[in-house]
Structure 1
Amino acid sequence: MRRWAWLLLPALLLVLAAWRPLALPDEGRYAEVGRWMLASGDWLTPRLDGVPFFHKPPLLYWLEAVAMQLLGVTPWAARLVVALHACLMWGVMCVCVRHFAGAATARRAAWMLGSSLAFLVGGQYVNHDMVVATWMSVAIWCFARAMLHPRGVHAQWARAGFVACALGVLSKGLIGLLLPGFVLTLWVLWTWQWRKVWALPWVSGVLLLVAVALPWFVLAAREHPDMLAYMFGKHQFGRYTATTFNNARPWWFYGAAVVVLLFPWVFFALADGWQRVRAAVQQRWPSQPMAASPAASDASVPSPWVTLCWIWVLAILGFFSIPNSKLIGYALPVIPPLAVLAAVWWQQHLAPRAWGGRLFAGLVGLALVLALTANIVAGRYTLRHSSADVAAVLGCEIVAGDVVAVLDEYPYDLPFYAQLQQPIEVLQDWDTERRTAGDNWRRELFEGADFDAQAARALQPLSRLDTLQQQAGAWVLAPNGSASLNLQHHKGFELVLGGQAWSLYRSTAGASAAASERPQATEHKGLGRCQHQRQEQR
C-alpha cells in the first residue's frame, strides 16, 4: 500500500456525501433548520417549520447556513459541515499518534479510522453526533498534549482544549464539556498527574471557554426565557434520566455499536485490552511464570497515552450505557481511541510478519466495500421515503402567496428540497396531540410553538382543510395511503403528483382563472431544473 494513499480517505468521504438523498427524519430535520436560518436571516433562534427548535445548540446550523450560502442549498452542502468535522477528528488523531507512537502507527490508525463506517457513513450523516464527537476528541487530545509536554504543562495546547470544549457545548450542550472533563479527571487520577492540573492556564482558558460558548445562550435566553430549562432540563438531563423517550436499548447496545462502527479493526483493540488485563492479573496474582506480553512490555508507546485511550473508551461507553435511550451515534466519540489502540496492537504484533501487509490491505478493502455498500443500501432505502419528487414539482410551481399544508405526517425534507420561503401549515387535532403525543415530530412542533405565538400559526386544526379547498393557490400533501383523508376523492382538490412516498394536491378553487391571473411560478435559487421541467411540459 502506498504510504500516501491514506490521504485519499477524506476525499472519498466527500464523494460519498453527494450520493444519497437526505435520510429521514434526522438529515431532513437538521439540514432544514440550517437552510431556514439562511433563508430567514434569523441566526439566533433555530427553527423547524418556522417554530423555535431548541433541542440542540446552533453550531451545526450556523455552519450549514454558511456552507449553503457559499455552495448552494444541496444535501452535499449540508453534509460538508459534518464531513469536515470528521476530517478534523481524523487529522488531529493522526497528529497526536504520530507524536507519541511514530509515523507508522499514525498511518495505521488513519487507515483504520478512515476506512470505518464511523468515518465514511457517520462522517457524512447530518446530525450533531459527529460534530460534538469531534470537539470532544479534540479537547481530550489537546489537554493530553498539554499535560504530557516534556517541558511542563503546555499552555497553548491547554487553551486549544478549552476552546474545543466551548465548541462542543455549542454543538450539543453540556456533554461537550462534561465528558472530556470526566475522561481527563479519571486519567489524571489514575496516572497520578493531579499536580499538573494546577499548572493549567485556568484563567485564560475559562475566559476563552466562556467567550466562545456563553454569548448565544445569553442572547437566546433573553429572547426566549424558558429556553434554558427546556434545552438543559428536558432534552439533556431529562433524556438521560427518563425512560419515556424513544430508542430504548439494552445495556450492551454500545458494545455492539462499536463493533459495527469500527469493523473489523475493533477486534485488534480488544486484543490489546485482553493482553493488558491478562498482564495485570498475572502481576497482581502470580501463579506461574508467563512470557512477557508485548502489550505490557513494549516501551515504544508511552503508557500514559494507552491508559488515556482505554479510560476514554470505558468512561464514555459507561456514561452513555446508563440511560434507557441509546443511539449509535453516541458511540462516535470512542472510535478514535479504539482506532489508536488497534493500530498500536497491530504494529507490535502483526506489522513485523511477512504477511502482515497483505492482511492489512485485505482488511482495508473489506472495510471500504462495507462502507460503500452501506451508503448504497441507505440511499435506496431513503429514496423510498423521500419527498424529493413532489418537492421538485412544488418548488417549481408555487408562487408568492400560495399556502402549503400537510396531513398525517411531517415531510422533514420537503421544505429543504422545495426551498420553501414560508412555513408549512401542519393540520392535526392539536388539542388531542398535546395530551397523547409521544416523543415524536408532533411534540417537536407544538413544544417549539410554545416559545413563539406568531410562529404557532403554522399549527392548524383539521378544519382548516375546508378553508383551503376554497382558496386558490392552496397545496396539500399527504403520505400515500393516508388514513385520515384521500384527497384525490375530496371535492375541491386535484392530484398533481403521486410520488414515491407522498402525494401532492392542489385546490381547484379559481382554476379557470388560474392560467391568466396567477403570476409566473417562482424559480427558487438552486432549482435550475424548473426551466427544464417547464420545457418538457410544453
Structure 2
Amino acid sequence: MSIERRPILFFVVFTLALYLLGNGMIPATDPVETNYTQTAKEMLASGDFISPRIFGNFWYDKPVFFYWELIGAFSLFGISDFSARLFPSVFGMIGVLMTYWFAKRIYDKKTAGYAALMLATSFGYWLVSKTIITDMTLFVFFNAVLVFFYIAYTSENKKWYYLCYLFAGLAVLTKGPIGILLPGLVVTIFICVRRDFKEILRMKPLGFVVFVAVVAVWYYPMIVLHGDDFIKNFLGVHNVLRATQSEHPLWNVWWYYSVLFFLIFMPWSFMTLPKTLARYVKAYRENHELPKFDQTQLFLLIWAITVTLFYQNMATKYTTYTLPTLLPISILGARYMINHDRLFKRTAAVWTICLVVLTFLVAIPVTRNQGYSQWEAGAYLKEICNDDDLIVEIGDYKVSLTYYSDLKVYRLETRADVQKERPDGKSWKAKNFMPFYAIEDLPRDKKVYLLVQSKRRKAFEANMKVDEWELVRTFPRFELFVRKPQS
C-alpha cells in the first residue's frame, strides 16, 4: 500500500491510525473539552437531542451538530474517552481525503498526495483531530463550501453550487453564522478581484432553500422552544460579544495568528513559507516585478489570507480559529515541495514518528498527570461519596469533576461573590452555569468534601476555619479535604 498506488486507502489507514492512536488514554480536559462531553452526556440522559444543556440548564454556547456527534459515539460505544475523541479523528480523516480530491482536481495526483500528507501531519491539524472541540467538523464543512464553489466556478456543471449551500448549512449547525458569512466573504472578494460579476447569476440562488432547510432542522425548534433567551444568548453573547470583546485580552495582539501559523503548520511552515518568500524577493530584485498568480493560486491565497485577517480583527482569539487556512496553504505548499521529493519524504516520515512519540510521551502523561483534567479526582469522588454528601470546590471550576464522578460539584464562593459571578447575559459571566454554593451556607449536619485548587489555597485559609478540615488526598493542582458532620 502506497500513496502512488492506492492513495485513498493509504490516507484512510494512515490518518485513522495516527489520529485514533492513544485516544482512549487521553482524558477530557478542562475548561473546553469537558463542556462538550458533559453537555452531550446530559442531552443523552434527558432524551432531548435538540436543546443543549449543562448542569441541568439550557446552554447556548454552540449549535447542536457536534453534540450530535458525541451523542452518536456515546450511544454506539458507551461514554468513554475514546468515544468522545472518535468523531474529531474521523472528520480529520475526511478533511485529508477532501484535500486530496480537490488538489487532484485542480492540479495533479502528485500535488494532491503531497498536499494531503502535509495537511495530515501538520502539528495543528493532528492536534485538533484528537481534541474534543467543534473545529475539525467546522474545518470539513467550512472548507467544503469553498471547495465546491471553486469546482462549480471552473466547471460547466453549475449544479456543484448546491453542495456549497448544503455544507454552509452544516457549518452553521456546527459553529453558527460564521459558517456562511466567512466563506461568503472569501467568495465575494474572489469574484470582485476577478471582476466576474456575471458568475453571481449562475450560483443557483435556489440553493438558499437547501441552506434554510438544513439550518431550520435545529434553529427553528430552538427559537420556538426558547425564544428570546436563545437569540440573546446565542447571538448576543456567543457571537457578537466574542467578536467585539476579548475573552482573553492577553492574546488580543496584531501578530497573534501570524506567529501561530508557524506552530500549527509545523514542520511545513518552516520549509515552505520562508523559501517561497525568499524566491519572490529575489525575483523582484532581479526583474523589479511583483509575483504573478494564476487563477487557482489567487483563489487559494484569497481563501487563506481572508480567513486569517478576519479572525485577526476579531477581539476574541483562539488558536484553532484559523485552522481552515491549512487546506489552501497545504496545496500551495505542495506545489513547492513536489520539486524537493527526497526532503519531503524524509520530513514526512520523521515527523510522523515525532507525532506518535508526542502522543505517548506528552499528550497522555500531561493530560493525565498535570491537572489539565481532574479525571482521577472525579473517579475517586465517585467511589467514596454517598448520595447525601456535599461536594464543593474552591478555584477555577473543573467540569471534569462532574463528568467523571456523575456527582454534583458546586463552585464555592462567598455569598457576595456568588451574586457577582452568576450569569447576567451581558458579559462572559453568561457562561457561568455551574452550580454555586456560598461559604456562609455550608451545612454542619452533613459530610462536606472540599476541593481546593493550589493557587486558591490562601483564599481557603482566609475565608474558612482550616482546622475543621481533614486532608484526604492530593491530586495534581488540587487538595481534597473533608469535614464530617458536627453535632
Q: Say which SS state the counterpart of residue 191 (structure 2) adopts.
A: helix
Superposition deviation, residue 11 in structure 1: 1.9
CA displacement, residues 471-530 of structure 1 (integer Å, 9 cap, x when unaligned): 25x544332463333689553x6544332333344553399xxxxxxxxxxxxxxxxxxx
1:322 maps to 2:313: yes
Q: CA separation of 1:247/1:37 partners in 2, compared to 1, >3 Å: closer, same or farther?
A: farther
Q: Say which SS state the counterpart of residue 425 (structure 1) adopts.
A: strand
Match 1:105 to one of 101, 111, 121: 111
Q: Say which SS state the counterpart of residue 226 (structure 1) adopts.
A: helix
Q: CA separation of 1:431/1:280 partners in 2, compared to 1, >3 Å: closer, same or farther?
A: farther
Match 2:452 to one of 478, 484, 493: 478
Superposition deviation, residue 9 in structure 1: 2.5
Partners of 1:488 and 1:494 within 8 A in 2 = no
Match 1:500 to one of 457, 472, 476: 476
Which 5+ residue runs of structure 1 have no aligned equivalent?
Answer: 288-292, 297-302, 351-355, 450-455, 512-538
CA displacement, residues 264-318 of structure 1 (integer Å, 9 cap, x when unaligned): 22342564566568779999x669xxxxx9x86xxxxxx3322211110110111
Q: CA separation of 1:430/1:159 partners in 2, compared to 1, >3 Å: closer, same or farther?
A: farther
1:268 maps to 2:242: no
Partners of 2:171 and 2:180 within 8 A in 1 = yes
User: For residues 94 and 334 of structure 2, what CA distance do their matches in structure 1 show?
Assistant: 19
Superposition deviation, residue 141 in structure 1: 0.5
User: For residues 240 and 14 of structure 1, what CA distance do their matches in structure 2 show?
Assistant: 33
CA displacement, residues 33-73 of structure 1 (integer Å, 9 cap, x when unaligned): 22222223332332333333322212111211211111111
Which sits farther off after the overlay, 81-90 or 92-101?
Answer: 81-90
Partners of 1:6 and 1:107 within 8 A in 2 = no
Q: Say which SS state the counterpart of residue 460 (structure 1) adopts.
A: strand
Q: Say which SS state the counterpart of residue 119 (structure 1) adopts.
A: helix
Counterpart in the other structure of 2:300: 309
User: For residues 140 and 26 of structure 2, what CA distance do their matches in structure 1 show?
Assistant: 23
User: For residues 467 and 428 of structure 2, what CA distance do their matches in structure 1 show?
Assistant: 29
CA displacement, residues 105-135 of structure 1 (integer Å, 9 cap, x when unaligned): 1111111011111222121111222222221
User: For residues 58 and 30 of structure 2, what CA distance do their matches in structure 1 show?
Assistant: 20
Q: CA separation of 1:403/1:103 partners in 2, compared to 1, >3 Å: closer, same or farther?
A: same
Partners of 2:248 and 2:317 within 8 A in 1 = no
Partners of 1:135 and 1:167 within 8 A in 2 = yes
User: For residues 223 and 396 of structure 2, what CA distance do their matches in structure 1 show?
Assistant: 31
User: For residues 48 and 191 of structure 1, what CA distance do their matches in structure 2 show?
Assistant: 47
Q: CA separation of 1:12/1:306 partners in 2, compared to 1, >3 Å: closer, same or farther?
A: same
Match for 1:463: what amino acid? E
Q: Say which SS state the counterpart of residue 497 (structure 1) adopts.
A: strand
Q: Say which SS state the counterpart of residue 392 (structure 2) adopts.
A: strand
1:253 maps to 2:256: yes
Q: Report the TM-score when normalising by structure 1.
A: 0.78
CA displacement, residues 384-403 of structure 1 (integer Å, 9 cap, x when unaligned): 11322221222234454554
User: For residues 372 and 247 of structure 1, what CA distance do their matches in structure 2 show?
Assistant: 32
Larger Rg, first or second structure (1 or 2) = 1
1:177 maps to 2:187: no
User: For residues 111 and 25 of structure 2, what CA distance do their matches in structure 1 show?
Assistant: 32
Q: CA separation of 1:233/1:279 partners in 2, compared to 1, >3 Å: closer, same or farther?
A: farther
Q: Say which SS state the counterpart of residue 370 (structure 2) adopts.
A: helix
1:219 maps to 2:205: no
Which 5+ residue runs of structure 2 have no aligned equivalent?
Answer: none
User: For residues 261 and 52 of structure 1, what CA distance do their matches in structure 2 show?
Assistant: 34
Counterpart in the other structure of 1:461: 438
Partners of 2:378 and 2:401 within 8 A in 1 = yes
Counterpart in the other structure of 1:535: none
User: For residues 483 and 362 of structure 1, what CA distance do their matches in structure 2 show?
Assistant: 52
Match 2:16 to one of 2, 10, 13: 10
User: For residues 17 and 192 of structure 1, what CA distance do their matches in structure 2 show?
Assistant: 48
CA displacement, residues 428-453 of structure 1 (integer Å, 9 cap, x when unaligned): 236435547999xxx7676565xxxx
Q: Report the aligned-residue RMSD.
A: 3.2
User: For residues 95 and 34 of structure 1, what CA distance do their matches in structure 2 show?
Assistant: 33
Q: CA separation of 1:324/1:259 partners in 2, compared to 1, >3 Å: closer, same or farther?
A: same
1:28 maps to 2:34: yes
Superposition deviation, residue 215 in structure 1: 3.8
Superposition deviation, residue 319 in structure 1: 0.5
Superposition deviation, residue 159 in structure 1: 1.8
Match 1:236 to one of 234, 239, 243: 239
Match for 1:396: what amino acid? E
Q: CA separation of 1:447/1:222 partners in 2, compared to 1, >3 Å: closer, same or farther?
A: farther
Q: CA separation of 1:198/1:131 partners in 2, compared to 1, >3 Å: closer, same or farther?
A: same
Q: CA separation of 1:143/1:417 partners in 2, compared to 1, >3 Å: closer, same or farther?
A: same
Partners of 1:390 and 1:503 within 8 A in 2 = no
Q: Report the TM-score when normalising by structure 2.
A: 0.86
Q: Say which SS state the counterpart of residue 85 (structure 1) adopts.
A: helix
Superposition deviation, residue 342 in structure 1: 0.7
Counterpart in the other structure of 2:370: 384
The percent identity for this pair of structures is: 21
